[in-house]
């Protein structure tokens, strides 16, 4: 039986309920999803790669269909190494579409065997981004409905 495996790449700084929504809905399409934190030394992240992986593990530690990992380099090379032929991404708004369209075309040029699949988040998460969550938390706002509990605790530790 041919298992369907997808890579869901992102910075996940921090993981939000929007990310979780895409992963959970992706699991209805794919047998396995590799949630992979992109290592980008030029980006000023609030959390280390290991902290972000830990937060994702806290949500999916008992789900064998979700693998948490990290990578640097070309996404299509990483997907091939992991035995995945699909990249899973979320699309929130038209502004996401332009960037994602360019990336999908470049990935297709680099490796035509790798496909891109896009899921729109559930309506309650269409506005949600890691940047908004960090800003709201830093200003003392309630983020309990925006992130998993373990992520909320980590954010509060960083900002309080």
The secondary element (H helix, E strand) that includes residue 90 is: strand 86-90
Q: Which residues are catalytic?
A: 19, 43, 92, 130
Q: Per-residue pLDDT for 70 more than 80?
A: yes
pTM: 0.94
What is the extent of the structural domain holding 72? Answer: 5-159
Give residue 157's pLDDT band: very low, low, confident or very high (50, 70, 90).
Answer: very high
Domain count, the chain: 1
> Can you tell me the distance from the alpha carbon of 100 to that of 116, in angstroms, rounded to the nearest whole number?
9
- DSSP for 14-48, written as a single string: S--HHHHHHHHHHTTT-SEEEEEEE--TTS--SS-
Could you report the per-residue pLDDT of 95-149, keeping only the tens digit for each? 789 899 999 999 999 999 999 999 999 999 999 999 999 999 999 999 999 999 9
The secondary structure element, H or E, covering residue 105 is helix 94-110
């Amino acid at each position: 039986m041919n298992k369907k495996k997808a890579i869901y790449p992102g910075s996940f700084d921090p993981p939000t309920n929007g990310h979780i929504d895409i992963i959970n809905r992706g699991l209805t399409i794919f047998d396995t999803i590799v949630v992979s934190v992109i290592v980008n030394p030029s980006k000023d992240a609030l959390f280390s790669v290991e902290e972000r992986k830990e937060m994702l593990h806290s949500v999916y530690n008992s789900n064998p269909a979700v693998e948490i990992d990290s990578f640097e380099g070309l996404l299509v090379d990483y997907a091939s190494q992991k035995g995945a032929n699909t990249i899973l991404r979320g699309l929130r708004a038209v502004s996401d579409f332009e960037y994602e369209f360019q990336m999908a075309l470049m990935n297709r040029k680099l490796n035509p065997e790798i496909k891109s699949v896009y899921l729109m988040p559930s309506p309650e998460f269409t506005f949600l981004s890691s940047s908004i969550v960090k800003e709201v938390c830093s200003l003392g706002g309630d983020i309990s409905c925006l992130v998993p509990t373990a992520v909320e605790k980590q954010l509060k530790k960083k900002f309080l």
